């Protein structure tokens, strides 16, 4: 990191943050291109929030370097603060005030005159589908409404970089997709978004690139497509008519789809099976193998209600990378996925 790269919103090198003996962030290298949504994906305790708080200058790193738009988070913290916003940072929303009152108040705090503050508040409430709720006290809002007004408050002044730390955790599918629309809207206006999530489909929908982190380390990085193709050319999903035939179906799939070990995954639903099609095949070869698998299942007398070939899901990527939640990783197990 001798020279600054202007088109990177975030650049970190060997970033470390410890809490006592816990290495919450343990040597993280990130390069986040400006103007994109970058996903940071990881399970509970992976170090996502800690990394975000270091990048937003709320925590001091213990090692390595981090720059935001070329500014060092330690030496040029003010310059960084001037360009970033973090949801939850303004958790100072007053529960007793209405949505409109909160936004107007915060807009005035950042220097808008009253008419401009009102206009900005109305504009945001409208964009976030909260116009009708604007007149109600925030304490009466549902979880989804609350999340949306938190995000609205964090972009009163359009930041160059917005940190969204698990913006949809605990939301129902409808509220989640509303938040996704808001994120797309924000990025379309030129803001870079760093989004942390535990939901693979969320990263898949929104992010142009994803860093998978576990135990404070980046264990894979790339576009959603690159991450998926790193675990195989495709993934076969089978729904059986009779769960008693699962062992037979597993044997057939393991035999036809290649080297076997771990290729067939058990779903909690006893009639469903997922099998990876080996890593070396092209999409066309994967399709031929899948067709053979279906033929062989039929020949073996396994009744199949549903059969499909798709890209591996990010869930499968995650399982393949992390083995199990209890696994500990040492320093040289980073999987290089990006070219
Ligand atoms: N202030 C703190 N003091 C001590 N330990 C901390 C502190 N903050 C975080 N940790 C520890 O650092 C590790 C990473 O925590 P962090 O909150 O960054 O994870 P996360 O990926 O955001 O998890 P989640 O998905 O649950 O939000 C955890 O082991 C956590 O217990
Ligand atoms: Mg967190």
pLDDT digits (tens, 9 = 90+) for 43-54: 889 999 999 999
pLDDT score at 132: 94
Give the span between the Cα atoms of 52 and 42, in whole angstroms: 13
| Residue 275 φ/ψ, nearest 5 degrees | -130, 130
Q: Which residues line ligand 1 (CB under 6 A)?
A: 19, 22, 24, 42, 44-50, 198
Q: Label residues 119-138 b or e (16+ Cβ within 10 Å = b).
A: ebbeebbebbebeebbeeeb
Give the span between the Cα atoms of 238 and 275, in whole angstroms: 8
pLDDT score at 93: 86
- Cβ atoms of residues 233 and 278 within 8 Å: yes
The mean per-residue pLDDT over the stretch 215-233 comes to: 85
pLDDT score at 176: 85
* pLDDT tens, residue by residue, 225-280: 888 777 676 788 999 999 999 999 999 998 888 754 456 877 889 999 988 886 56
pLDDT score at 321: 76
Q: Are strands 234-240 and 304-310 parallel, antiparallel or unpaired?
A: antiparallel
State percent of the chain over pLDDT 70. Answer: 86
Residue 197, classed as helix, strand or coil, is: strand
* pLDDT tens, residue by residue, 95-115: 999 999 999 999 998 889 999
**Which two structure tokens, joined as six digits, stand for 204?**
């898949």
Is pLDDT larger for residue 17 or for residue 234?
17
Residue that has been written with the tokens 């062989």 in this structure: 296
pLDDT score at 6: 58
Mutate to test the pocket of ligand 1, among 50, 165, 219, 322 (most ligand atoms within 8 A of CB): 50
Is pLDDT larger for residue 333 or for residue 134?
134
Q: Classify the C-alpha dihedral 62-66-68-69 as positive or negative.
A: positive
pLDDT score at 279: 59
- Nearest-CA residue for ligand 1 atom 16 is 47
**Helix 99-109 and helix 143-154: axis angle, to 10°?**
20
- Nearest-CA residue for ligand 1 atom 31 is 45
The mean per-residue pLDDT over the stretch 6-27 comes to: 95
- Nearest-CA residue for ligand 1 atom 17 is 49
Look at residue 293 and tell me whether its pLDDT is greater than 70: yes
Look at residue 5 and tell me whether its pLDDT is greater than 60: no
Ligand 1 atom closest to the CA of 47, numbered from 1: 18
**Which 3-state string (H, E, C) describes 11-56?**
EEEEEEEEECCEEEEEEEEEEEECCCEEEEECCCCCCHHHHHHHHC
Query: For domain 233-311, is the CATH number 1.10.1040.10?
Result: no
pLDDT score at 97: 96
As a residue count, the chain comes to 339
Give the start-to-end residue ranges of the domains of the chain: 1-83+159-231+313-339, 233-311
Q: Are strands 71-72 and 217-222 parallel, antiparallel or unpaired?
A: unpaired
* pLDDT tens, residue by residue, 307-326: 998 877 666 777 777 654 33
Query: In this structure, which CATH number among 3.40.800.10, 3.90.320.10, 3.40.50.300, 1.10.150.120 belongs to the domain 1-83+159-231+313-339?
Result: 3.40.50.300
The mean per-residue pLDDT over the stretch 146-173 comes to: 88
Which residue spans within 115-214 are E strands per DSSP?
Answer: 161-165, 192-197, 209-214
Mutate to test the pocket of ligand 1, among 15, 40, 43, 45 (most ligand atoms within 8 A of CB): 45
- Cβ atoms of residues 241 and 271 within 8 Å: yes
């Amino acid at each position: 990191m001798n020279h600054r790269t202007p088109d990177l919103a975030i650049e970190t090198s060997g970033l470390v943050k410890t809490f006592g003996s816990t290495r919450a962030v343990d040597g993280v290298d990130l390069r986040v291109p400006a103007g994109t949504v970058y996903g940071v994906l990881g399970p509970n305790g992976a170090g996502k929030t800690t990394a975000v708080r270091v990048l937003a200058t709320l925590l001091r790193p213990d090692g390595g370097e981090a720059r935001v738009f070329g500014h060092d988070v330690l030496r040029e913290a003010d310059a960084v603060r001037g360009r970033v916003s973090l949801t939850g940072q303004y958790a100072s929303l007053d529960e007793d005030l209405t949505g409109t009152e909160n936004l107007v108040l915060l807009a005035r705090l950042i220097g808008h005159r009253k008419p401009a503050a009102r206009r900005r508040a109305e504009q945001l409430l409208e964009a976030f589908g909260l116009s009708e709720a604007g007149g109600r006290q925030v304490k009466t809002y549902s979880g989804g409404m609350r999340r949306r007004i938190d995000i609205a408050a964090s972009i009163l002044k359009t930041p160059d970089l917005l940190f969204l730390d698990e913006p949809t955790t605990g939301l129902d599918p409808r509220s989640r997709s509303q938040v996704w629309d808001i994120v797309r809207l924000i990025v379309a206006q030129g803001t870079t978004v760093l989004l942390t999530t535990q939901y693979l489909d969320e990263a898949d929908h929104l992010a142009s690139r994803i860093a998978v982190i576990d135990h404070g380390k980046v264990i894979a990085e790339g576009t959603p497509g690159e991450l998926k193709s790193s675990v195989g050319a495709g993934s076969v999903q089978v729904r059986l008519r009779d769960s008693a035939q699962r062992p037979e179906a597993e044997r057939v799939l393991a035999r036809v789809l290649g080297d076997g070990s771990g290729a067939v995954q058990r779903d909690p639903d006893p009639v469903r099976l997922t099998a990876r099609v080996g890593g070396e095949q092209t999409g066309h070869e994967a399709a031929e193998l899948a067709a053979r698998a279906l033929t062989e299942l039929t020949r073996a007398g396994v009744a199949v209600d549903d059969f499909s070939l798709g890209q591996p899901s990010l869930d499968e990527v995650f399982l393949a990378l992390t083995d199990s939640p209890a696994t500990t990783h040492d320093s040289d197990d980073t999987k290089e996925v990006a070219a």
